[in-house]
Amino acid sequence: MAGTSLEFWIDGAKRPRTWTERLDRKWRKLTGPKFAGKAGVTGPNGRIALDLPADPGIRYVLDEVLARDCYPVVPGVGGIATIVDIGANVGIAAARLRLAYPDARILCFEPNPAALPFLRINAERARAETLDYGLGETDATLPLYQGSHSTVTASLTAHHMTEAKPLGDVVIRAAGPALAGLGVSAIDLLKIDTEGAEMPILRSLAPFLAGVRIAHLEFHSESDRRAIDAMFAPTHLLWSGTVERGHTGQIAYVRRDLAPDQPRIGA
């Protein structure tokens, strides 16, 4: 598989030497409610331009997805034909995944009306499909709590990073049946970042999980991290991860029969 060298640009600026310089130099200027940022990502399979909202949380996502490459290609794991991006926000991850997997079908699920206009633009550029609803364990209409300072932290559960009152109701569909209705019989790469709603989604996707080649998952409590690991451990190897302040972080799993062999001590 092609390498994952990535290059990043914002608003047509001259490119500084490092990712940090590139982000800091431009993002200090991106203030004001009317600003609509321009950014993009370049990889081994082309370049995708991105339209971004005036949202301070987007800087964090750009750094996380592009600079720190939190959805890396796993060496030797091919056959990625179907990618399911649950909690797609404005499509930064979809663009990054498109450059890594140029021939895959990418489905982007996002119920947040503040993020959807940008997702539609960016997903089209990334040749991805936009589904304007969320996924869960059952079909439902639920309140969505907007992030206090960013669309990135919008959640179906009120918490310390959301507004106290819901933005409004959004449509949630049972994940397994929804994917089946879209003609998905297998998920090759699964990405879930839903600010605490990961476990209900995974329960609905239970029939798909053993076949997932690569899973990128965010967690928001220690109990969820343990539950996620229990679901994947029989069939998958915990490949990489980060833990932030104990209760939040990201973890990646690779199906055991596909995991690259790595040196081991005492094996």
The amino acid sitting at 240 is S
In which band, very low, low, confident or very high, does the pLDDT at 243 lie, cut at 50, 70 and 90? confident
Alpha-carbon gap, residue 82 to 64, rounded angstroms? 23
Residue 173 included in any domain: yes
User: Which of 90-104, 139-153, 161-175, 248-262: highest mean pLDDT?
Assistant: 90-104
Least confident window among 7-11, 16-20, 122-126: 16-20
**Percentage of the chain with pLDDT > 70?**
77
Q: If we measure between CA atoms, which residue out of 108, 142, 102 comes closest to residue 122?
A: 108
Residue 181 resides in a domain = yes
pLDDT of residue 30: 42
**In this structure, is residue 64 part of a structural domain?**
no
**Does any domain span residue 5?**
no
**110, part of any domain:** yes
Which pLDDT score, from 0 to 100, does residue 114 have? Answer: 87
Residue 19 has what pLDDT? Answer: 43
Strands 189-192 and 214-219, sheet pairing: parallel
**Please, is 56 exposed, middle or buried when counting C-beta atoms within 10 Å of its C-beta (0-12, 13-18, 19+)?**
middle
Task: Identify the band that residue 123 occupies on the pLDDT scale cut at 50, 70 and 90.
Answer: very high
Q: 58 or 222: which carries more pLDDT confidence?
A: 222
Q: What is the pTM of this model?
A: 0.84
DSSP string, the chain: ------EEEETT----SSHHHHHHHHHTT--STT--EEEEEEETTEEEEEEE-S-HHHHHHHIIIIIS-SSPPPTT-----EEEEES-TTSHHHHHHHHH-TT-EEEEE---TTTHHHHHHHHHHTT-EEE-SEEESS-EEEEEBPBSS-GGG-BSS--TTB-SS--EEEEEEEHHHHHHHTT-S--SEEEE--TT-HHHHHHHTHHHHTT-SEEEEEESSHHHHHHHHHHHTTTEEEEEEEEETTTEEEEEEEETTTPPP---S--
Distance of CA 24 to the CA centre of its chain: 23
48 contacts: CB under 8 Å, gap ≥ 6: 40, 41, 95, 98, 99, 122, 125, 126
Q: How far is CA 53 from CA 57, 69, 122, 150, in A?
A: 10, 21, 12, 10
pLDDT tens digits along 20-49: 444 444 444 443 333 357 777 877 778 898
CATH of the domain at 178: 3.40.50.150
Residue 9 is assigned to a structural domain of this protein? no
Q: What pLDDT is recorded for position 104?
A: 98
Picking from 60-69, 111-120, 144-153, 241-250, which range would have the lowest pLDDT averaged per residue?
Answer: 144-153
* 12 occurs within a structural domain: no
Question: For residue 11, is it within any domain?
Answer: no
User: In the predicted model, is pLDDT for residue 90 greater than 90?
Assistant: yes
Number of independent structural domains in the chain: 1
User: Domain residues for 241?
Assistant: 79-255
Tell me the per-residue pLDDT of 195-234, one tens digit each, with 9 for 90 and over. Answer: 888 999 999 999 999 999 999 999 988 999 999 999 999 9
pLDDT band at 238 (very low <50, low <70, confident <90, very high): very high
Q: What is the pLDDT of residues 132-191, one digit of tens each?
A: 999 999 999 988 777 656 666 666 666 666 656 667 888 999 999 999 999 999 999 999
Nearest to 97, CA basis, from 56, 117, 125? 125
